[in-house]
Structure 1
Amino acid sequence: MYLAHAPIYEESGLSHLHWRVRALVGAYAVSVYGNFLNLIALSLFTYEVTGSGLGLGLLMALRLFAGVLAGLGAGALAARVGRRAMMIGADLGQAVAMVVLALSATGSAPVWLLAVVVVVLGAGNTFFTVALRSAVPVMVGHEARVRTNGQLTTSRSVATVAGFASAAPIIELAGHSAAFAVNAATFLVSAVALSLLRPRMEEDRKGPQTAPEAGAASLRQVLRAVPALLLGMVLLRGVDALASSSHNVALPVVADVESPGDPALFMTQFWASWAVGTFLAHQLLKRRHASWSEGRWGAYAFAVGTCVMSVSFVLAFTGPAPLLLMAVAGVAGLADGFTEIVYTSRLQAAPDRERSRLFGLSATAETSGFALGMVAAAAALEMWPALAVVGLFHGMALCAALAFLLLSLAARRRMIEQPYEKPSHSEGANTHGPCTRTGPVPRA
C-alpha cells in the first residue's frame, strides 16, 4: 500500500531501501539508459538529416537551451501540478516524441520535427530531474537521503555506460528507428513505475494555503532565503559543468588517436572505469554519517571533491598507460560521484517549499555551463591539443573550487572571531537587559 504519511523506508530501520524506492531507482536507471542510447542515436541521425556539423551543433544547442529555460520554470510547475505528475508528464511527453521520431526515421524526417523533438527532450529531462531530486527527502526522509542519492548516482553511472556501449550495435543491427523505439519504451517504463508505485513526493501541509505558501516560492524569494554559501555551491556546480564539457568533447578525439583501430573500445574502457569509481563513491558515503552533506562540512567536501575530479580528468589526457588510465578514470569517477551525492544531499536540506526552485536554479546553472562549454571546447579543439583544452577548462574549475573553499573558510573564521559587543542605550539597544548571543554558530 502507498504510505501517505511517512517516508517509504521499512520500519526495521535505514539498513535497507524499501522495495518501492528500489523499484523507482531501477525505473530511473532504465530511463537514463534510454537517454544515453538516444544521445548517440539522435546525434548520428541529426547529422545524417542536416548533413553538416553546424546543423548538428545548432540542434544540440537548442536541446540544452530548452533545458535551461525549463530549469527556470520547473519549481513553479512542480508547486502547481505536483512533482509526481510533472515526472509522469515529462516521461510521457518524451515517449511520444520518440515514437513520432521512430516512425519518421524510416523516411526523411524534416528538420523542424527534429527541432521539436530536441526541445521536448531537453525540457522533459530537466523537469524530471528537478522533481526527482527535490522529492527524495520526502520519499525517504532526510536521514536517508544521502544513501538514496548514492543509489541514484550509481544507477545513473551504470546506465550511462550501458547506453553508450549498446548504441552502436543497436543502430548497426536495427537502425535508428529501433534505437528511438527502445528509448520511448524506457520512458514508458519510468512513467508506469511512477503511476503504479505512487511514491509520496509532497510534504503534508495543514490548513488552507496560497500558492506561494504551498511551495511556489518565487525565484527572488529563494535567492533571498538561501545562504550565500549554498548559492556559491550552485555557481561552482555550473563552472564544474562547463569544465566537464571539455573532456566529453575531447575524449572521442583522443580515442581516435590512441586507439585508431577501435576508438569505441577505448571510450568504453574509460567510461566503465569512471562508473566503477562512482559506485565506490556511493559505498564510501553510505558508510559515513550524514554530516558529510550537512552545513559547511558539505560545502568543504564538495569543493575538495571538485578539485580532485578536475585534476584527475586532466591527468587522464596526459597519455598514461592503459592500466594507469583506467585507474585515473576511476579516481575521477570516485570524485565525480562523491561531489554529486554531497551536492545533491546538501541542496535537499533546504525547506520543501524552496527545494524545487533551488534545484531548478541548479539545473539552469549546470545546463548553461555545459552548453557554453560544449561550444567553447569544440572551438578550442580546432586550435589546441586535447590536453591543453581539458587542462584549461578543468583549471578554471580547480581555481573556482579553491577560491570557494578559501572564501568559505575565511567567512567561517570571521564569524567565529567576531566580538560580541554590548550595545549602549544611546544606540537604541534593548533596555531590558544585556544583549547576548548564545547557541551554536549558524550553519549555512
Structure 2
Amino acid sequence: MTDAHQDGAMINRSARNSWLIISAHFISDFGAFLNMVALSTYVYLLSQSVTQVSIFLACRVTGGILASLFGVPYFRRFTGRLPLVILDILRAALLALLLIFPSSVQLYLLPFIALGIGIGNSMFAIGLNSQLPSWVDDSRRVATNAWLTSASATGAVTGSMVSGILLATNGYDLVFVTNIVTYLLAGLCILPLRFLIIPAGAEIKNQRKEWRDLFKGLRAAPLMAGMLLITMADTLGSAAHNVGFPVISELLTSASPGKTMGLLLAVWAGGKFAGARSSNYFLLKRGIPAERLFFYGVALMSLGFILTFQQNTVSLALFFIFFAGIGDGLADVSLISRIQSEVESLRLPVFSLMTLLQMTGFGVGMLIVAPFYIWLAPSLVIIIFHGIPLLTLIFVWLYSRRGHASR
C-alpha cells in the first residue's frame, strides 16, 4: 500500500513538473522573441545605423556560444531549479537597465545587454533540457519534449506579434516592462520543481577532460554524433531561409511583404506544432527509433523549404512551408529525446555541444548567406544551403548502414 502511494505521488509530481517546465519554456521563448524584435528595432531607432544592429545581433549570438562553453561547469557545480531561477532574474535585471538609464547611455549598454541575454537564453535551455529526466519520468519524457517544441513555436510567433502590437500602440517602455515580467514569471514556474530522484553528484572535471570524455562518448554512439553533424549543417539552411523570408515575401506580394512574411511564419509555426505533437505518436505508439525519425524530419524540413522558395503564389508557398514546419517539429523532439536518453554524465555536455554548433553555424551562416542573395535567385540560394543538410544526412545514413553491415 505504501509503495502504491509512493508511486502515485511520484506520477503526480512528474505530471506537475512536466506542465511547470512547459509553461516556463513557453514564457521564456515568448520573452526571448519579444525582446529580439523590440531590441533590434530599438538599437536602430537610437543609432540609425545598420552596423549597430549587426553588432547587437552578433553579441547575442556570441552570448549563446559562450553559454555552450560555460554551461557544463555551471550546471555541474549548481544543479536543480535555483540556477535556472537565477538566470531568469539576471535576464530581467539586464532589461531593467533600459528603464533606469537615459537613452544617451543605453546605446553603449545594449551590446552588453545583448551578450547577457544571449548567455541567459542559451544556458536556460541547456539547464532545462539536460535536467529534464530528473524532473519527469521516462514514460512522460517524449510527450513533454513534444509539448516543449510546440510551446517554443507558439512562443516565437506570439512573442513577435505581441512585440509589434505593443510597439505600435504603447512604445518601448511597456515592451521592456512586459519582457521583465515574462522572465520573472518563467522563474516562478521553475521554483516549485522538485526532483523525482535526487541525482548523484556529478564529478567536477576540467574543460579539457570534459570535452575528451564527450568525444569518447560520441564515438561510442555514432548515430547521435551524426545527428549533431546534421544539426550543424542544418544551421546553414536555417540562416538561408531566415535571411530569405523578406526577399521571397517581396517577390510574392510586393504590395504587402510584411503581411506575407507574417503568414509564412505563422503557418510554419503551425506546422512545427503539428510535427511536435505527432512525434509523440511516432516515437511511442509506432516505436520508430528517435534517430530515424530525426532523419525523416530533417529531410522533410529541408525539402519543404526548398519547395517553398520555388513558388510564385502565396497559397502554394504556405502549403509547402507547413510541411517544412512539420519536419522541424519532428526533428527537434527526436533530437532532444535521443540526447536525454543518454547517461547524465554525457547528457549535459552533448546539450552544450549542440548549442555551440547551432549558435556558431547560424552566426557564420548569416554572414555567408547574405551575398548569395545578391548574386543568385532566392530559389537557387535555398537549394544550395538546404542541400547541405540533405547531403550530410545521406552521408550519415550511408556511413551508418556501412557500419551496421560490417558489424
SS of match in other structure, 1:318: coil
Whether 2:380 is the aligned partner of 1:360: answer: no
Q: CA deviation at 1:45?
A: 1.1
| Closer/same/farther in 2, CA of residues 278 and 71 from structure 1, 3 Å limit | same
Residue by residue over 1:226-258, the C-alpha shift from the partner in whole angstroms, topping out at 9 and shown as x without a partner, is 323222211211111221111111101222332
1:175 maps to 2:166: no
Moved beyond 4 Å, runs of 4+: 5-9, 291-294
Aligned partner letter, 1:304: Y
Match of 1:10 in 2: 11
Q: Distance in 2 between matches of 1:377 and 1:153?
A: 26
Contact 1:50 1:111 in 2 (8 A): yes
Shift of 1:132: 0.9
Q: Distance in 2 between matches of 1:69 and 1:49?
A: 27
**2:76/2:203 contact within 8 Å kept:** no
Confirm or deny: 8 A CA contact 1:237 1:366 kept in the other structure.
yes
1:9-158 to structure 2, matched below 5 A, reads 10=11, 18-104=15-101, 107-158=103-154
CA distance in 2, matches of 1:262, 1:180: 28
Determine if contact 2:95/2:176 at 8 Å carries over to the other structure. Answer: yes
- Structure 2 unaligned residues grouped into runs of 5+: 1-5
Quote the offset at 1:331 in angstroms.
0.4
Match of 2:188 in 1: 192
Q: CA deviation at 1:179?
A: 1.5
Distance in 1, matches of 2:31 and 2:91, equals 11
Q: Output the CA distance in 2 between the equivalents of 1:374 and 1:162.
A: 24
SS of the aligned residue for 1:108 comes to helix
CA distance in 2, matches of 1:216, 1:10: 39
Distance (Å, rounded) in 2 between the aligned partners of 1:163 and 1:116: 22
In 2, Cα distance between equivalents of 1:168 and 1:264: 12
Distance change in 2, residues 1:186/1:221 (3 Å)? same
Deviation at 1:325, TM superposition (A): 1.9
- Is 1:259 aligned with 2:253? yes
Q: Is the 8 A contact 1:80 1:211 kept in 2?
A: yes
Answer yes or no: is 1:165 the counterpart of 2:161: yes
The DSSP-based 3-state class of the residue aligned with 1:286 is: helix
Kindly provide the amino acid, as one letter, of the partner of residue 125 in structure 1.
N
Matched, 1:233 2:252: no
Aligned to 2:3: none
Q: Closer, same or farther in 2 for the Cα pair 1:6/1:187, shift >3 Å?
A: farther
Change (3 A) 1:234 1:202: farther
Alpha-carbon offset, residue 346 of structure 1: 0.5
TM (norm. structure 1) is 0.84
Equivalent residue for 2:244, pick from 239, 250, 255: 250
For residues 92-146 of structure 1, the C-alpha deviation after alignment (integer angstroms, 9 at most, x for no partner) is 1111111112444x63344330111011011111110001111121211233211
Cα pair distance change 1:201/1:236, threshold 3 Å:
farther
Task: String of CA shifts for 1:254-281, please: whole Å, max 9, x gaps.
Answer: 2233233332321221122112212222
**Partners of 1:292 and 1:301 within 8 A in 2:** no
Q: Give, in whole Å, the separation in 2 of the partners of 1:291 and 1:324.
A: 32
Confirm whether residue 211 of structure 1 aligns to residue 204 of structure 2: yes
Q: 1:75·1:358 contact (CA, 8 Å) conserved in 2? A: no
Show the 5 A alignment for 1:298-377: 298-377=290-369
Q: How many residue pairs were aligned?
A: 400
What is the CA–CA distance in structure 2 between the aligned matches of 1:193 and 1:185, rounded to whole Å?
12
Report the CA distance between 1:210 and its aligned residue: 4.7
Distance 1:193 1:217 in 2: 35
1:390 maps onto 2:382 in alignment: yes
Cα deviation code 1:262-319 (max 9, x no counterpart)? 323212211221122122223322223449888xx32232123212211110111112
Distance 1:324 1:6, change over 3 A: farther
The amino acid across from 2:82 in the alignment is: A
Show the counterpart of 2:403: 411
Would the aligned equivalents of 1:139 and 1:200 in 2 still touch at CA under 8 Å? Answer: yes
Opposite residue 48 of structure 2, the aligned amino acid is G
Contact 1:76 1:216 in 2 (8 A): no
Going from structure 1 to structure 2, the CA distance change for 1:381 and 1:54 (only over 3 Å counts) comes to farther
Deviations 1:145-179 (A, max 9, x none): 11110000001111111112222221111112221
Inter-CA distance 209–328: structure 2 relative to 1 (3 Å threshold): closer
* Cα separation, partners in 2 of 1:7 and 1:324, compared to 1, 3 Å: farther
Q: Which has the higher helix share?
A: 2
Q: In structure 1, what is the Cα distance between the partners aligned to 2:352 and 2:334? A: 17
CA shift, 1:390, in A, is 1.8
Pairwise CA RMSD: 2.6
1: CA distance between counterparts of 2:255 and 2:226?
A: 44
The whole-number CA distance in structure 2 between the counterparts of 1:128 and 1:74 is 9
Cα separation, partners in 2 of 1:262 and 1:80, compared to 1, 3 Å: same
